[in-house]
């Protein structure tokens, strides 16, 4: 953030410096108003070196402007004044104030600085550059408001300084309170205005667009005034100037939003893209309202005033460098590099993990349904099961451990960022997954039951070899189906498979172990050796799960959830 505009009354100062005509009194008031009414600090390591300035971005930029453009000497200033009372900046009022006394003088100086239109409302006069106080008539006030609006339209944050000088006795008389306990809030004199530029950081525009493409709607909630907010939102792509909705509730002020009746707020909240001049409560209210409507809400923030909203949101993301401790404590994720673009990374990986879990579940259910049905039918009809305990344990081992590893290591794809987000009430197992897994299980059950009952005849082998054929076919079906599980909806299941070395490795290991089980572990696994022809048959049967997977994905599934449809029908 940087000061890029400086106005003394209605007069723009060149290069944000006070012109030589400006009286030294006014300059001194500025020193006090910037240098003492602040939460930032200046540290000069040794005289002559560039000072180190710390504080919030706004404070930092104001202090460095006062030092470099107005020639403020912080040491000197602190020596000459005693601060009596401080009103800290808060997000509700958007201003901070102090009262101070100069050494050897009884006059109490009151300084306010804050959001320009709010400070302007406290003033009834203004300083001309020569140091003469002039009354602020309606005309002057309107001109000043115009200046503020112009700055805001250029996406500048506008801060005003107000000043008042009182005698200690006056203050006591007027307010009945001790001088300095309460700062005068009206009848002040406007010192000047500055405009601070906080340029849209590189990458933000792209990140906003990526979020929008991913079906995430972005809302900007800021303490800035409505014109600044609108200009910044347009700059970073949150508002689209060609959008016909732009003047139809896309931009609101915090007070307006706060004062809607509940139904009105619920109805309008979706259309809002920018909320300006918002208080911490407005931010919270927005999150609550969106959650009530069933949206999943993520909030990013850095300040203490964002903490309630960060806490309330489903996902709170705070900034690691600029963020306050309170914000970080209230959030779920801390973005270490303070970069909004990281939100897109979070989104992409979140979606990747979610789909990987879905893939694994679909794969697991297929294995389990098939094994269960075959063993049950065989046991019920013939009194013995084709898959022995050791074999089932082996299946579990390769399918749970290795299968999970293979499917969970798929990296995020671009596709993920083109789909709409998963809703709060959407079930983990989508209709498409049911379709895939039912088709695959049915196929496996079908061929394995044929092998169970007709295997001896077809292959001309004894019962032991037949059981090994069933076991081998079953495992190979899972191996091939693991490829199918890589994509839930896309037909090309091999896309990017060569890049996922771990997946290929696991498939390789599974196949090697299976060969060992069948060919060499007769005692342990109750298997019989198979000849080339029988291996070919097993592979041939198993590989059919690929075309089946492809064909099944051509069948459209209803958008509505299966269980909703069933419920509706039965009621």
Q: How far is the CB of 295 from Ca ion (least distance, A)?
A: 22
Of the pair 301, 455, the CB lying nearest ligand ATP is at: 301
Any contact of residue 254 with Ca ion (CB under 5 A)? no
Helix or strand holding residue 79 (H, E): helix 74-80
Number of residues that bind Ca ion (CB under 5 A): 1
Please give the Cα distance from 282 to 224 (Å, whole number): 13
Contact predicate 159/194, CB 8 Å: yes
Please give the Cα distance from 327 to 501 (Å, whole number): 40
Contact predicate 103/81, CB 8 Å: yes
Q: Which does 125 bind (CB under 5 to 8 A by kind): Ca ion, ligand ATP, none?
A: none
Q: Both tokens of residue 437?
A: 């897994």
DSSP string for 113-162: EEEHHHHHTTEEEEE-TTS-EEE--HHHHHHHHHHHHHHHHTTEEEEEEE
Any contact of residue 58 with ligand ATP (CB under 6 A)? yes
Q: Both tokens of residue 493?
A: 């299941």
Sole binder of ligand ATP in the list 5, 60, 109, 157 (CB under 6 A): 157
Of the pair 341, 399, the CB lying nearest ligand ATP is at: 341
Q: Which does 254 bind (CB under 5 to 8 A by kind): Ca ion, ligand ATP, none?
A: none
Please give the Cα distance from 14 to 537 (Å, whole number): 87
β-strand pairing of 41-43 with 11-12? unpaired
Q: Draw the binding track, 289-308, toward Ca ion (x: CB under 5 A; -: no contact).
A: --------------x-----
Among 52-60, 451-459, 524-532, 534-542, the segment contacting ligand ATP (CB under 6 A) = 52-60
Among 86-94, 165-173, 369-377, 477-485, the segment contacting ligand ATP (CB under 6 A) = 86-94
Among 124-132, 221-229, 382-390, 425-433, the segment contacting ligand ATP (CB under 6 A) = 221-229
Among 24-32, 218-226, 333-341, 362-370, the segment contacting ligand ATP (CB under 6 A) = 218-226
Contact predicate 474/444, CB 8 Å: yes
78: CB partners within 8 A, 6+ apart: 35, 36
Sole binder of ligand ATP in the list 8, 22, 98, 115 (CB under 6 A): 115
Among 2-10, 18-26, 55-63, 205-213, the segment contacting ligand ATP (CB under 6 A) = 55-63
Q: Draw the binding track, 176-215, toward ligand ATP (x: CB under 6 A; -: no contact).
A: ----------------------------------------
Of the pair 191, 406, the CB lying nearest ligand ATP is at: 191
Q: What DSSP state is assigned to residue 306?
A: G
Of the pair 49, 88, the CB lying nearest ligand ATP is at: 88
Q: Which does 115 bind (CB under 5 to 8 A by kind): Ca ion, ligand ATP, none?
A: ligand ATP
Picking from 235, 228, 239, the residue whose alpha carbon sits closest to that of residue 150 is 228
Q: Cα angle vertex 10, ends 8, 16, to 5°?
A: 40
Q: How far is the CB of 73 from ligand ATP (least distance, A)?
A: 21
Note the helical H segments in 154-260.
168-175, 204-213, 226-235, 254-259
Sole binder of ligand ATP in the list 97, 303, 323, 455 (CB under 6 A): 303
469: CB partners within 8 A, 6+ apart: 451, 455, 459, 461, 530, 534, 537, 538
- For 166, list phi and psi in degrees, rounded to 5: -135, 155
Among 90-98, 249-257, 259-267, 471-479, the segment contacting ligand ATP (CB under 6 A) = 90-98
Of the pair 144, 399, the CB lying nearest ligand ATP is at: 144
Residue 193 class from Cβ within 10 Å (0-12 exposed, 13-18 middle, 19+ buried)?
A: buried
Q: Give the position of tokens 């809302």.
A: 219
Q: Give the position of tokens 């999970």.
A: 404
Any contact of residue 466 with ligand ATP (CB under 6 A)? no
Of the pair 157, 359, the CB lying nearest ligand ATP is at: 157
Q: Which does 61 bind (CB under 5 to 8 A by kind): Ca ion, ligand ATP, none?
A: none
Of the pair 113, 348, the CB lying nearest ligand ATP is at: 113
Any contact of residue 96 with ligand ATP (CB under 6 A)? yes
Q: How far is the CB of 103 from ligand ATP (least distance, A)?
A: 26
Any contact of residue 219 with ligand ATP (CB under 6 A)? no
Please give the Cα distance from 271 to 250 (Å, whole number): 6
Any contact of residue 113 with ligand ATP (CB under 6 A)? yes
Of the pair 285, 506, the CB lying nearest ligand ATP is at: 285
In the chain, how many H helices and how many E strands?
23, 17
Any contact of residue 56 with ligand ATP (CB under 6 A)? yes
Of residues 156 through 215, those in contact with Ca ion by CB under 5 A are none
Please give the Cα distance from 206 to 330 (Å, whole number): 27
Sole binder of ligand ATP in the list 89, 394, 471, 474 (CB under 6 A): 89
Instruction: Assign 216 to helix, strand or coil.
Output: coil
Please give the Cα distance from 352 to 339 (Å, whole number): 21
Q: What DSSP state is assigned to residue 260?
A: S
Question: Where on the chain is the footprint of ligand ATP (CB under 6 A)?
Answer: 56, 58-59, 89, 91, 94-96, 113-115, 157, 159, 222-224, 303, 305
Question: Where on the chain is the footprint of Ca ion (CB under 5 A)?
Answer: 303
């Amino acid at each position: 953030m940087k000061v890029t505009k400086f106005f003394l009354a209605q007069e723009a100062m060149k290069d944000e410096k006070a012109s030589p005509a400006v009286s030294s009194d006014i300059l001194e008031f500025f020193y006090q108003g910037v240098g003492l009414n602040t939460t930032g600090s200046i540290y000069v390591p040794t005289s002559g070196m560039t000072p180190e300035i710390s504080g919030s971005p706004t404070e930092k930029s104001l202090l460095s402007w006062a030092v470099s453009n107005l020639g403020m000497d912080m040491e000197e200033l602190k020596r000459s004044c005693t601060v009596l009372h401080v009103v800290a900046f808060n997000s509700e009022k958007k201003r901070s104030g102090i009262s101070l006394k100069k050494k050897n003088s009884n006059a109490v100086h009151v300084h306010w600085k804050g959001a320009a239109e709010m400070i302007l409302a406290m003033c009834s006069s203004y300083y001309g550059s020569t140091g003469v106080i002039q009354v602020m008539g309606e005309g002057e006030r309107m001109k000043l408001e115009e200046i503020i609006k112009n700055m805001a339209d250029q996406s500048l944050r506008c801060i005003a300084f107000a000043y008042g000088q009182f005698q200690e006795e006056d203050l006591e008389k007027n307010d009945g309170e001790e001088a300095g306990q309460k700062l005068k809030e009206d009848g002040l004199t406007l010192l000047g205005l500055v405009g601070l530029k906080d340029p849209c950081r590189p990458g933000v525009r792209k990140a906003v667009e990526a979020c929008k493409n991913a079906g995430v709607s972005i809302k900007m909630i800021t303490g800035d005034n409505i014109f600044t907010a609108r200009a910044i939102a347009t700059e970073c792509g949150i508002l689209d100037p060609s959008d016909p909705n732009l003047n139809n509730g896309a931009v609101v002020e915090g007070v307006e939003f706060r004062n809607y009746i509940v139904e009105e707020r619920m109805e309008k909240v979706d259309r809002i893209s920018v909320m300006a001049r918002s208080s911490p409560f407005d931010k919270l209210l927005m999150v609550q309202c969106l959650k009530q409507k069933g949206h999943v809400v993520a909030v990013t923030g850095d300040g203490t005033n964002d903490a309630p909203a960060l806490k309330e949101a489903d996902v709170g993301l705070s900034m690691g460098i600029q963020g306050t401790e309170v914000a970080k404590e209230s959030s779920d994720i801390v973005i270490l590099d303070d970069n909004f673009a990281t939100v897109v990374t979070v989104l992409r990986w979140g979606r990747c993990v979610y789909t990987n879990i879905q893939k694994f579940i679909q794969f697991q259910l297929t294995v389990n349904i098939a094994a269960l049905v075959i063993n049950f039918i065989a046991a019920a009809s013939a009194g013995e099961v084709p898959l022995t305990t050791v074999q089932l344990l082996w299946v579990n081992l390769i399918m749970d451990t290795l299968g999970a590893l293979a499917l969970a290591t798929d990296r995020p794809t671009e596709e993920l960022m083109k789909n709409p987000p998963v809703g709060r009430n959407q079930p983990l197992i989508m209709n498409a997954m049911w379709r895939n897994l039912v088709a695959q299980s049915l196929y496996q059950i079908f061929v394995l039951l044929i092998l169970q009952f007709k295997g001896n005849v077809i292959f001309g082998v004894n019962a032991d070899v037949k059981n090994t054929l069933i076991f081998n076919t079953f495992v190979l079906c899972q191996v091939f189906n693991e490829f199918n599980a890589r994509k839930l909806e896309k037909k090309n299941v091999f896309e990017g498979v060569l890049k996922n070395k771990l997946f290929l490795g696991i498939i390789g290991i599974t196949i090697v172990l299976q060969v060992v089980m069948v060919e060499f572990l007769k005692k342990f696994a109750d298997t019989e050796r198979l000849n080339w022809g029988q291996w070919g048959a097993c592979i041939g049967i198993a590989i059919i799960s690929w075309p089946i997977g492809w064909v099944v994905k051509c069948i459209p599934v209803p958008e509505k959830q299966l269980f909703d449809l069933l419920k509706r029908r039965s009621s």
